[in-house]
C-alpha cells in the first residue's frame, strides 16, 4: 500500500504551514482540509454561498469557488482558487475575492470568517 504524502504543491505546503501557526480555529480547520487529497477538497458554487451568506460576511473556502448560480449579496470571499466565471460574477455583484494566502495576513485571528465546505 502506498504511503500518503500530502499535497505536493509547494505553495499549498507553505500555506498549510502558515495556517497551522495561527491560533485561530478557523484557519486550523482550513489547514486540515487542505492537507487532504485535492479530489476531496471542497468546490463551492456561488449559489451555495448566496444561500448561506448575509451581506458583508467573510466567506472562506479551503478549495475552489465555481461559477454556477448568481450572487446577489455583497460579501468578501477567500479561497485557494477561483474559476474565471465565478470571478466575473463576483465583480458584478460588488463582492471581492482575496486569495487565502493574502487574507490570513490581513486577519490572522480569523474573526468573523465563515468556513463553507
66 has which bridge partners? 45
| pLDDT tier at 63, thresholds 50, 70, 90 | very high
pLDDT digits (tens, 9 = 90+) for 15-31: 999 999 988 999 999 99
pLDDT at residue 4, as a whole number: 67
Percent of the chain with pLDDT over 70: 97
Percent of the chain with pLDDT over 90: 84
Q: Where are the domains of the chain?
A: 10-115
Q: Can you give the pTM of this predicted structure?
A: 0.87
The CATH number of domain 10-115 is 3.100.10.10: yes
Cβ pair 89, 74 in contact under 8 A: no
pLDDT digits (tens, 9 = 90+) for 32-44: 999 988 888 999 9
Cβ pair 92, 64 in contact under 8 A: no
Amino acid at each position: 500500500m502506498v504511503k500518503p504524502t500530502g499535497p505536493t504543491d509547494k505553495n499549498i505546503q507553505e500555506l498549510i504551514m502558515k495556517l497551522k501557526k495561527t491560533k485561530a480555529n478557523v484557519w486550523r480547520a482550513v489547514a486540515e482540509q487542505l492537507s487532504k487529497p485535492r479530489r476531496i477538497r471542497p468546490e463551492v458554487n456561488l449559489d451555495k454561498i448566496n444561500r448561506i451568506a448575509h451581506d458583508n460576511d467573510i466567506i472562506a473556502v479551503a478549495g475552489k469557488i465555481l461559477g454556477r448560480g448568481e450572487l446577489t449579496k455583497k460579501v468578501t470571499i477567500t479561497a485557494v482558487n477561483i474559476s474565471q466565471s465565478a470571478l466575473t460574477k463576483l465583480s458584478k455583484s460588488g463582492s471581492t475575492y482575496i486569495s487565502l494566502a493574502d487574507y490570513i495576513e490581513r486577519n490572522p485571528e480569523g474573526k468573523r470568517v465563515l468556513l463553507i465546505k
